[in-house]
Amino acid sequence: MSGWRAPERIFVGMGVTFDAATWAWYLAAIVWWTVDLGYGPLQLVLLGTVLEVTALVTEVPTGVVADRVSRKWSVVSSYAMMSTAMVLSAATRNYGVMLAAQALFGLGWTFRSGADVAWLTDERTALRRLEGESDAEALDESPALLRRHRLGITAGLVALVPVILWGDRSLRGVIVLSGLALALTTIWLAVAMTDHFRAGNDGDEHEAGMLAILRDGFGVTRRVRSIRLLIVVMVLLGLGAEALDRLGFKAFLDEGDFGDESLRFTGILFATMAALGLLVVWVTESARNRGVGLGLLAVVLLAVSSAGAVIAAVAPAIGIAVGLALQDPCREALDPVTTAVANEQAPESSRATVLSFVSLSHGLGNTFGGIVLALVAEALDVRWAIFAAGALWAVATVVARLAASVPADTPTSAVDAS
Protein backbone atom coordinates (compact mmCIF):
# COMPACT_ATOMS: atom_id res chain seq x y z
CA MET A 1 0.00 0.00 0.00
CA SER A 2 1.33 3.43 -0.91
CA GLY A 3 0.26 6.95 -0.02
CA TRP A 4 -0.69 8.54 3.26
CA ARG A 5 -2.21 5.31 4.67
CA ALA A 6 0.86 3.15 4.07
CA PRO A 7 1.48 1.22 7.34
CA GLU A 8 5.18 2.06 7.63
CA ARG A 9 4.55 5.73 6.91
CA ILE A 10 1.89 5.92 9.63
CA PHE A 11 4.06 3.92 12.05
CA VAL A 12 7.00 6.27 11.58
CA GLY A 13 4.75 9.35 11.63
CA MET A 14 3.11 8.46 14.93
CA GLY A 15 6.55 8.02 16.51
CA VAL A 16 7.86 11.30 15.12
CA THR A 17 4.95 13.36 16.44
CA PHE A 18 5.08 11.54 19.78
CA ASP A 19 8.79 12.27 20.24
CA ALA A 20 8.44 15.92 19.25
CA ALA A 21 5.60 16.47 21.73
CA THR A 22 7.11 14.51 24.62
CA TRP A 23 10.61 15.96 24.27
CA ALA A 24 9.21 19.48 24.50
CA TRP A 25 6.94 18.46 27.35
CA TYR A 26 9.64 16.73 29.39
CA LEU A 27 12.19 19.55 29.01
CA ALA A 28 9.67 22.05 30.35
CA ALA A 29 8.39 19.66 33.01
CA ILE A 30 11.77 18.65 34.46
CA VAL A 31 12.80 22.30 34.89
CA TRP A 32 9.41 23.21 36.36
CA TRP A 33 9.52 20.30 38.83
CA THR A 34 13.14 20.79 39.86
CA VAL A 35 13.61 24.55 39.84
CA ASP A 36 10.19 26.21 40.11
CA LEU A 37 8.46 23.67 42.36
CA GLY A 38 11.64 22.55 44.13
CA TYR A 39 10.92 18.82 44.22
CA GLY A 40 13.49 16.70 46.05
CA PRO A 41 14.90 13.32 44.89
CA LEU A 42 12.09 11.26 46.42
CA GLN A 43 9.34 13.47 44.99
CA LEU A 44 10.89 13.38 41.54
CA VAL A 45 11.29 9.62 41.58
CA LEU A 46 7.77 9.11 42.95
CA LEU A 47 6.42 10.81 39.83
CA GLY A 48 8.14 8.15 37.76
CA THR A 49 7.24 5.39 40.19
CA VAL A 50 3.51 6.15 39.99
CA LEU A 51 3.78 6.04 36.21
CA GLU A 52 5.68 2.75 36.31
CA VAL A 53 3.38 1.11 38.88
CA THR A 54 0.39 1.98 36.72
CA ALA A 55 2.20 0.53 33.71
CA LEU A 56 3.19 -2.52 35.73
CA VAL A 57 -0.42 -3.29 36.64
CA THR A 58 -1.92 -2.57 33.22
CA GLU A 59 0.83 -3.53 30.74
CA VAL A 60 -0.19 -7.13 30.10
CA PRO A 61 -4.00 -6.61 30.30
CA THR A 62 -3.79 -3.80 27.74
CA GLY A 63 -1.60 -6.00 25.53
CA VAL A 64 -4.26 -8.71 25.66
CA VAL A 65 -6.93 -6.13 24.81
CA ALA A 66 -4.89 -5.09 21.77
CA ASP A 67 -4.59 -8.73 20.65
CA ARG A 68 -8.23 -9.53 21.32
CA VAL A 69 -10.08 -6.34 20.38
CA SER A 70 -8.08 -4.00 18.14
CA ARG A 71 -4.46 -2.99 17.90
CA LYS A 72 -5.40 0.16 16.01
CA TRP A 73 -7.86 1.42 18.62
CA SER A 74 -5.48 0.48 21.39
CA VAL A 75 -2.94 2.89 19.87
CA VAL A 76 -5.53 5.63 19.31
CA SER A 77 -6.75 5.32 22.92
CA SER A 78 -3.16 5.50 24.10
CA TYR A 79 -2.47 8.81 22.41
CA ALA A 80 -5.73 10.26 23.70
CA MET A 81 -4.86 9.35 27.30
CA MET A 82 -1.26 10.55 27.13
CA SER A 83 -2.21 13.89 25.59
CA THR A 84 -4.80 14.41 28.33
CA ALA A 85 -2.23 13.55 30.99
CA MET A 86 0.27 16.04 29.59
CA VAL A 87 -2.26 18.88 29.70
CA LEU A 88 -3.42 17.82 33.18
CA SER A 89 0.15 17.94 34.51
CA ALA A 90 0.19 21.72 33.96
CA ALA A 91 -3.31 22.36 35.30
CA THR A 92 -2.19 22.92 38.90
CA ARG A 93 0.81 22.94 41.22
CA ASN A 94 -0.87 20.34 43.42
CA TYR A 95 1.43 17.34 43.79
CA GLY A 96 -1.49 14.91 44.04
CA VAL A 97 -2.84 16.02 40.66
CA MET A 98 0.67 15.70 39.24
CA LEU A 99 0.78 12.10 40.43
CA ALA A 100 -2.64 11.40 38.91
CA ALA A 101 -1.46 12.81 35.58
CA GLN A 102 1.57 10.51 35.68
CA ALA A 103 -0.70 7.54 36.37
CA LEU A 104 -2.88 8.41 33.38
CA PHE A 105 0.20 8.79 31.20
CA GLY A 106 1.41 5.36 32.37
CA LEU A 107 -1.93 3.79 31.49
CA GLY A 108 -1.87 5.41 28.07
CA TRP A 109 1.69 4.24 27.50
CA THR A 110 0.70 0.60 28.01
CA PHE A 111 -2.06 0.82 25.40
CA ARG A 112 0.63 1.89 22.92
CA SER A 113 3.41 -0.41 24.14
CA GLY A 114 3.69 -3.38 21.79
CA ALA A 115 0.39 -2.62 20.06
CA ASP A 116 1.97 -0.19 17.57
CA VAL A 117 4.65 -2.66 16.44
CA ALA A 118 2.13 -5.52 16.39
CA TRP A 119 -0.18 -3.34 14.29
CA LEU A 120 2.59 -2.64 11.78
CA THR A 121 3.37 -6.34 11.43
CA ASP A 122 -0.36 -7.13 11.10
CA GLU A 123 -0.83 -4.65 8.29
CA ARG A 124 2.30 -5.69 6.42
CA THR A 125 1.31 -9.36 6.74
CA ALA A 126 -2.23 -8.60 5.56
CA LEU A 127 -0.86 -6.79 2.52
CA ARG A 128 1.37 -9.77 1.74
CA ARG A 129 -1.64 -12.07 1.78
CA LEU A 130 -3.80 -9.75 -0.27
CA GLU A 131 -1.05 -9.64 -2.91
CA GLY A 132 -0.71 -13.42 -2.85
CA GLU A 133 2.79 -13.45 -1.30
CA SER A 134 3.99 -16.03 1.19
CA ASP A 135 4.25 -14.89 4.81
CA ALA A 136 6.21 -17.89 5.99
CA GLU A 137 9.31 -15.76 6.56
CA ALA A 138 9.14 -13.60 9.69
CA LEU A 139 9.01 -9.87 9.08
CA ASP A 140 11.99 -7.88 10.32
CA GLU A 141 10.68 -4.63 11.76
CA SER A 142 14.07 -3.36 12.94
CA PRO A 143 14.55 -1.06 9.88
CA ALA A 144 11.19 0.66 10.50
CA LEU A 145 11.85 0.84 14.25
CA LEU A 146 15.29 2.36 13.80
CA ARG A 147 14.06 4.78 11.13
CA ARG A 148 11.23 5.91 13.40
CA HIS A 149 13.71 6.36 16.23
CA ARG A 150 16.09 8.40 14.05
CA LEU A 151 13.37 10.68 12.70
CA GLY A 152 11.83 10.94 16.15
CA ILE A 153 15.10 12.25 17.57
CA THR A 154 15.28 14.77 14.73
CA ALA A 155 11.74 15.93 15.45
CA GLY A 156 12.51 16.14 19.16
CA LEU A 157 15.61 18.22 18.46
CA VAL A 158 13.59 20.62 16.32
CA ALA A 159 10.90 20.87 19.01
CA LEU A 160 13.50 21.81 21.63
CA VAL A 161 14.48 24.99 19.79
CA PRO A 162 11.34 27.06 20.53
CA VAL A 163 11.23 25.67 24.06
CA ILE A 164 14.82 26.79 24.74
CA LEU A 165 14.24 30.21 23.17
CA TRP A 166 10.85 31.08 24.59
CA GLY A 167 9.95 28.45 27.17
CA ASP A 168 11.12 30.54 30.14
CA ARG A 169 8.18 32.86 29.45
CA SER A 170 5.72 30.09 30.35
CA LEU A 171 6.83 26.59 31.18
CA ARG A 172 3.25 25.57 31.82
CA GLY A 173 2.23 26.95 28.42
CA VAL A 174 4.82 24.71 26.75
CA ILE A 175 3.48 21.71 28.65
CA VAL A 176 -0.10 22.42 27.55
CA LEU A 177 0.84 23.03 23.90
CA SER A 178 2.77 19.76 23.84
CA GLY A 179 -0.30 17.89 25.05
CA LEU A 180 -2.51 19.56 22.45
CA ALA A 181 -0.07 18.57 19.69
CA LEU A 182 -0.39 14.95 20.78
CA ALA A 183 -4.19 15.32 20.82
CA LEU A 184 -4.10 16.34 17.15
CA THR A 185 -2.01 13.24 16.45
CA THR A 186 -4.75 11.15 18.08
CA ILE A 187 -7.32 12.46 15.59
CA TRP A 188 -4.99 11.80 12.65
CA LEU A 189 -4.36 8.20 13.77
CA ALA A 190 -8.08 7.50 14.19
CA VAL A 191 -8.61 8.47 10.55
CA ALA A 192 -5.41 7.19 8.93
CA MET A 193 -4.74 3.80 10.55
CA THR A 194 -6.10 0.72 8.78
CA ASP A 195 -7.20 -2.39 10.67
CA HIS A 196 -6.92 -5.48 8.47
CA PHE A 197 -6.07 -7.93 11.23
CA ARG A 198 -9.02 -7.01 13.41
CA ALA A 199 -11.30 -6.97 10.39
CA GLY A 200 -10.81 -10.72 10.04
CA ASN A 201 -8.64 -10.71 6.93
CA ASP A 202 -6.14 -12.97 8.65
CA GLY A 203 -8.40 -15.92 7.89
CA ASP A 204 -8.87 -16.92 11.51
CA GLU A 205 -12.58 -17.01 12.24
CA HIS A 206 -12.13 -18.41 15.72
CA GLU A 207 -10.13 -15.90 17.71
CA ALA A 208 -8.69 -17.14 20.95
CA GLY A 209 -10.21 -15.78 24.14
CA MET A 210 -8.33 -13.32 26.28
CA LEU A 211 -7.14 -15.96 28.74
CA ALA A 212 -5.88 -18.15 25.91
CA ILE A 213 -3.95 -15.22 24.44
CA LEU A 214 -2.52 -14.43 27.86
CA ARG A 215 -1.43 -18.05 28.37
CA ASP A 216 0.09 -18.20 24.89
CA GLY A 217 2.03 -14.97 25.40
CA PHE A 218 3.24 -16.01 28.84
CA GLY A 219 4.24 -19.40 27.46
CA VAL A 220 6.49 -17.75 24.88
CA THR A 221 8.20 -15.59 27.51
CA ARG A 222 8.74 -18.66 29.71
CA ARG A 223 9.91 -21.18 27.11
CA VAL A 224 11.91 -19.14 24.58
CA ARG A 225 15.36 -18.70 26.12
CA SER A 226 16.28 -15.56 24.20
CA ILE A 227 13.14 -13.81 25.46
CA ARG A 228 13.75 -15.01 29.02
CA LEU A 229 17.21 -13.46 28.92
CA LEU A 230 15.83 -10.33 27.26
CA ILE A 231 13.39 -9.95 30.15
CA VAL A 232 16.26 -10.16 32.65
CA VAL A 233 18.09 -7.45 30.69
CA MET A 234 15.00 -5.24 30.72
CA VAL A 235 14.54 -5.68 34.49
CA LEU A 236 18.15 -4.64 35.13
CA LEU A 237 17.81 -1.73 32.72
CA GLY A 238 14.68 -0.59 34.51
CA LEU A 239 16.27 -0.87 37.95
CA GLY A 240 18.68 1.92 37.13
CA ALA A 241 16.53 4.03 34.80
CA GLU A 242 15.10 6.54 37.30
CA ALA A 243 18.56 7.38 38.65
CA LEU A 244 19.47 8.86 35.27
CA ASP A 245 16.08 9.94 33.90
CA ARG A 246 15.20 12.12 36.88
CA LEU A 247 18.03 12.23 39.42
CA GLY A 248 20.67 12.70 36.71
CA PHE A 249 19.08 15.97 35.61
CA LYS A 250 18.64 17.03 39.22
CA ALA A 251 22.37 16.47 39.80
CA PHE A 252 23.14 18.49 36.67
CA LEU A 253 20.92 21.41 37.74
CA ASP A 254 22.07 21.34 41.38
CA GLU A 255 25.77 21.15 40.54
CA GLY A 256 25.51 23.74 37.78
CA ASP A 257 23.42 26.17 39.87
CA PHE A 258 22.19 27.88 36.71
CA GLY A 259 19.37 29.88 38.32
CA ASP A 260 17.21 31.66 35.75
CA GLU A 261 19.23 30.02 32.97
CA SER A 262 18.23 26.49 34.07
CA LEU A 263 15.87 25.94 31.15
CA ARG A 264 18.43 27.15 28.60
CA PHE A 265 21.27 24.99 29.91
CA THR A 266 19.02 21.94 30.29
CA GLY A 267 17.78 22.53 26.76
CA ILE A 268 21.34 22.65 25.47
CA LEU A 269 22.03 19.33 27.20
CA PHE A 270 18.86 17.85 25.66
CA ALA A 271 19.91 19.11 22.23
CA THR A 272 23.37 17.59 22.67
CA MET A 273 21.83 14.26 23.59
CA ALA A 274 19.58 14.49 20.55
CA ALA A 275 22.49 15.19 18.23
CA LEU A 276 24.45 12.28 19.68
CA GLY A 277 21.28 10.19 19.45
CA LEU A 278 21.18 10.77 15.71
CA LEU A 279 24.77 9.59 15.47
CA VAL A 280 24.08 6.51 17.58
CA VAL A 281 21.01 5.48 15.60
CA TRP A 282 22.85 6.09 12.30
CA VAL A 283 25.67 3.79 13.44
CA THR A 284 23.11 1.24 14.66
CA GLU A 285 21.22 1.30 11.36
CA SER A 286 24.44 1.00 9.38
CA ALA A 287 25.59 -1.93 11.49
CA ARG A 288 22.22 -3.62 11.09
CA ASN A 289 22.31 -3.13 7.32
CA ARG A 290 25.74 -4.78 7.26
CA GLY A 291 24.27 -7.82 8.98
CA VAL A 292 25.30 -7.19 12.57
CA GLY A 293 22.94 -9.11 14.87
CA LEU A 294 20.40 -7.35 17.06
CA GLY A 295 21.83 -9.11 20.12
CA LEU A 296 25.34 -7.77 19.56
CA LEU A 297 23.97 -4.27 19.01
CA ALA A 298 22.18 -4.49 22.35
CA VAL A 299 25.42 -5.53 24.09
CA VAL A 300 27.36 -2.55 22.74
CA LEU A 301 24.60 -0.06 23.52
CA LEU A 302 24.28 -1.38 27.07
CA ALA A 303 28.03 -1.23 27.66
CA VAL A 304 28.24 2.43 26.60
CA SER A 305 25.14 3.26 28.69
CA SER A 306 26.81 1.75 31.73
CA ALA A 307 30.02 3.69 31.11
CA GLY A 308 28.07 6.94 30.72
CA ALA A 309 26.28 6.41 34.03
CA VAL A 310 29.57 5.80 35.86
CA ILE A 311 31.08 8.96 34.35
CA ALA A 312 28.03 10.98 35.48
CA ALA A 313 28.47 9.56 38.98
CA VAL A 314 32.17 10.23 39.52
CA ALA A 315 33.08 13.20 37.30
CA PRO A 316 32.84 16.90 38.27
CA ALA A 317 29.90 19.07 37.22
CA ILE A 318 30.63 19.14 33.49
CA GLY A 319 31.19 15.38 33.67
CA ILE A 320 27.56 14.87 34.68
CA ALA A 321 26.53 16.39 31.36
CA VAL A 322 29.07 14.24 29.50
CA GLY A 323 27.86 11.06 31.21
CA LEU A 324 24.19 11.87 30.57
CA ALA A 325 24.95 12.68 26.94
CA LEU A 326 26.68 9.31 26.52
CA GLN A 327 24.17 7.01 28.18
CA ASP A 328 20.89 8.54 27.06
CA PRO A 329 21.28 8.12 23.26
CA CYS A 330 22.51 4.54 23.65
CA ARG A 331 19.73 3.62 26.06
CA GLU A 332 17.14 5.18 23.76
CA ALA A 333 18.50 3.21 20.80
CA LEU A 334 18.08 0.03 22.83
CA ASP A 335 14.30 0.35 22.62
CA PRO A 336 13.90 -0.36 18.88
CA VAL A 337 16.60 -3.06 19.07
CA THR A 338 15.04 -4.99 21.97
CA THR A 339 11.53 -4.53 20.54
CA ALA A 340 12.66 -6.00 17.21
CA VAL A 341 14.17 -9.00 19.01
CA ALA A 342 10.93 -9.72 20.87
CA ASN A 343 8.77 -9.06 17.81
CA GLU A 344 10.69 -11.67 15.78
CA GLN A 345 10.18 -14.30 18.46
CA ALA A 346 6.48 -13.65 19.14
CA PRO A 347 3.67 -15.60 17.43
CA GLU A 348 1.12 -13.59 15.45
CA SER A 349 -1.83 -14.36 17.74
CA SER A 350 -0.20 -12.99 20.90
CA ARG A 351 2.44 -10.62 19.55
CA ALA A 352 1.24 -7.53 21.43
CA THR A 353 0.97 -9.58 24.64
CA VAL A 354 4.56 -10.87 24.38
CA LEU A 355 5.82 -7.35 23.70
CA SER A 356 3.83 -6.18 26.72
CA PHE A 357 5.52 -8.78 28.92
CA VAL A 358 8.91 -7.48 27.77
CA SER A 359 7.87 -3.89 28.46
CA LEU A 360 6.40 -4.93 31.81
CA SER A 361 9.76 -6.36 32.88
CA HIS A 362 11.35 -2.94 32.37
CA GLY A 363 8.54 -1.33 34.36
CA LEU A 364 8.99 -3.87 37.16
CA GLY A 365 12.65 -2.95 37.48
CA ASN A 366 11.85 0.74 37.21
CA THR A 367 9.26 0.59 39.98
CA PHE A 368 11.45 -1.08 42.58
CA GLY A 369 14.75 0.40 41.45
CA GLY A 370 13.39 3.93 41.42
CA ILE A 371 12.30 3.84 45.07
CA VAL A 372 15.49 2.12 46.28
CA LEU A 373 17.81 4.47 44.40
CA ALA A 374 15.80 7.50 45.53
CA LEU A 375 16.30 6.40 49.14
CA VAL A 376 20.02 5.94 48.41
CA ALA A 377 20.11 9.49 47.03
CA GLU A 378 18.31 10.87 50.09
CA ALA A 379 20.51 8.97 52.57
CA LEU A 380 23.88 9.34 50.82
CA ASP A 381 24.03 11.36 47.63
CA VAL A 382 22.50 11.45 44.16
CA ARG A 383 25.84 10.39 42.70
CA TRP A 384 25.77 7.08 44.61
CA ALA A 385 22.37 6.32 43.09
CA ILE A 386 23.70 7.08 39.61
CA PHE A 387 26.76 4.89 40.18
CA ALA A 388 24.52 2.00 41.30
CA ALA A 389 22.58 2.33 38.04
CA GLY A 390 25.80 2.06 36.05
CA ALA A 391 26.74 -1.11 37.94
CA LEU A 392 23.33 -2.67 37.25
CA TRP A 393 23.67 -1.91 33.55
CA ALA A 394 27.11 -3.54 33.52
CA VAL A 395 25.46 -6.75 34.73
CA ALA A 396 22.76 -6.32 32.07
CA THR A 397 25.51 -6.13 29.45
CA VAL A 398 26.77 -9.56 30.50
CA VAL A 399 23.27 -11.04 30.34
CA ALA A 400 22.70 -9.46 26.92
CA ARG A 401 25.90 -11.11 25.71
CA LEU A 402 24.49 -14.49 26.77
CA ALA A 403 21.21 -13.70 24.96
CA ALA A 404 23.11 -12.77 21.80
CA SER A 405 24.60 -16.26 21.65
CA VAL A 406 21.19 -17.95 21.61
CA PRO A 407 20.13 -19.12 18.10
CA ALA A 408 17.13 -17.27 16.68
CA ASP A 409 13.80 -19.05 16.90
CA THR A 410 10.37 -17.97 15.72
CA PRO A 411 7.64 -19.97 17.48
CA THR A 412 4.13 -19.99 16.12
CA SER A 413 2.67 -20.63 19.55
CA ALA A 414 3.62 -21.24 23.12
CA VAL A 415 3.51 -24.97 22.48
CA ASP A 416 5.94 -24.70 19.60
CA ALA A 417 8.20 -22.58 21.76
CA SER A 418 8.85 -25.52 24.03
**pTM, full prediction:** 0.68
Question: What is the rounded average pLDDT of the residues 269-295?
Answer: 81
Contact 183, 83 (CB under 8 A): yes
- Strongest mean pLDDT among 3-12, 23-32, 194-203, 359-368: 23-32
Kindly report the three-state secondary structure assignment for every residue of the chain.
CCCCCCHHHHHHHHHHHHHHHHHHHHHHHHHHHHHHCCCCHHHHHHHHHHHHHHHHHHHHHHHHHHHHCCHHHHHHHHHHHHHHHHHHCCCCCCHHHHHHHHHHHHHHHHHHCCHHHHHHHHHHHHHHHHCCCCCCCCCCCHHHHHHHHHHHHHHHHHHHHHHHHHHHHCHHHHHHHHHHHHHHHHHHHHHHCCCCCCCCCCCCCCCCCHHHHHHHHHHHHHHCHHHHHHHHHHHHHHHHHHHHHCHHHHHHHHHHCCHHHHHHHHHHHHHHHHHHHHHHHHHHHHHHHCCCCHHHHHHHHHHHHHHHHHHHHHCCHHHHHHHHHHHHHHHHHHHHHHHHHHHHHCCHHHHHHHHHHHHHHHHHHHHHHHHHHHHHHHHCCHHHHHHHHHHHHHHHHHHHHHHHCCCCCCCCCHHHHC
Q: What's the angle, vertex CA 190, arms to CA 187 and CA 85, rounded to 5?
A: 55
Instruction: Note the pLDDT of residue 317.
Output: 72
**pLDDT tens, position by position, 80-104:** 999 999 999 888 888 989 999 999 9
Instruction: Note the pLDDT of residue 306.
Output: 92
Q: When comparing pLDDT for 322 and 149, which is higher? A: 322
**pLDDT tens, position by position, 233-260:** 888 888 888 788 778 888 888 777 777 6
**pLDDT tens, position by position, 7-64:** 888 989 999 999 999 989 988 888 888 888 888 888 888 888 888 788 878 877 777 7
Question: What is the rounded average pLDDT of the residues 398-409?
Answer: 70
What is the rounded distance in angstroms from the CA atom of residue 210 to the CA atom of residue 77?
Answer: 19
Instruction: Note the pLDDT of residue 201.
Output: 41
Q: What's the angle, vertex CA 156, arms to CA 31 and CA 1, rounded to 5?
A: 150
pLDDT band at 416 (very low <50, low <70, confident <90, very high): very low
The CATH code that applies to domain 7-417 is: 1.20.1250.20
Contact 337, 295 (CB under 8 A): no
Q: When comparing pLDDT for 382 and 261, which is higher? A: 382
